[in-house]
Amino acid sequence: MRRPGRTLLAFAAAVVAVAACSQVGTNPNVPVAIELAPPPLPAMLVGDSMRDSAGTVVPLHATVFNSRNDTIAGAAVTYLALDTTGGAIITVDPGTGLVVAHDTGRVFVVATAGALQSPADTIIAVDTPTVVQPLDSLVDTLDYTFTGRDTLLPLNVRLLRVSGVDTAGIGHWLLHYTVLYPAGYDNNDSTLAQLVDGTGRPALVDTTDASGATARSLRIRPTTASFADTLVIQAAATLPGGAVVGGTPIRFVVHLTVQ
């Protein structure tokens, strides 16, 4: 025989559980999701805080959402580095999200709000690059006659840190290409010779590989319009704040004729 007291207790527990679920679903201050913004640049420099391209210190930043997908302003967030080296690569201030790099390497970081944890982002720390080295001829001549297929002229550089007799490639760093001449050159115009990435897409920005090298080529297609002129193409890497690595950008000069 079921006892009335136990029935009342079970009913009361069910009411409390339903009320709690209802509160989580409607309370705008209860977090249900958290999103960690990615780093502003592919890599940060050893011995420095994480910065954007302008040189401004940028701490980690997470956004917390409620069940209505609205942002919870002022939600308490804690930041954590999943660094198995015990902080030898980076340290993260758990309250502010300020990141400081102490050595080269790669570390996962997460943000938490209550019982929630964000998907991990990756922080990469590299040594400060000092030299941009051309990997292809700085002056070249290309005469293209219709062949029915594309022609590619590599225009690559390598980003290095040179310290005494030690030389090391710097990977994960942005390098920008600019067509200086002719003025107003549109790299997205498919009738022109274009700087492209390894997949054939027009691209003026590259991220160096593990050896510090870029992968950009000047492409002439069978559909490229007739052209007889010189292209001057600049390749430059900058440090946060705008200082040019090596002091002077690399310039490629291509005397191009498309018939």
Pairing of strands 121-126, 44-45: parallel
Same-domain pairing of 224 and 173: yes
Query: Do 46 and 91 reside in the same domain of the chain?
Result: yes
Number of domains in the chain: 2
Residues 209 and 225 reside in one and the same domain: yes
Confidence of residue 25 (pLDDT cuts 50, 70, 90): low
Pairwise CA distance, residues 171 & 127, whole Å? 9
Are residues 253 and 137 part of one domain? yes
Q: Is residue 195 part of a domain?
A: yes
Check whether residue 153 and residue 74 sit in a common domain.
no
Instruction: Determine which of 6-10, 44-48, 129-133, 195-199 has the lowest per-residue pLDDT on average.
Output: 6-10
**Which tens digits make up the pLDDT trace of 84-143?**
888 899 999 999 999 999 999 999 999 999 999 999 999 999 999 999 999 999 999 999
Per-state percent for the chain, helix, strand, coil, to nearest 5 = 10, 40, 50
Closest CA to 48 of 8, 14, 16, 91: 91
- Does residue 26 belong to any structural domain of this protein? no
In this structure, the answer to whether residues 165 and 234 fall within a common structural domain is yes
Residue 19 pLDDT more than 80? no
Give all strands of the β-sheet with 205-207 in edge-to-edge order: 139-144, 250-258, 227-236, 174-181, 205-207
CATH number at residue 168: 2.60.40.10
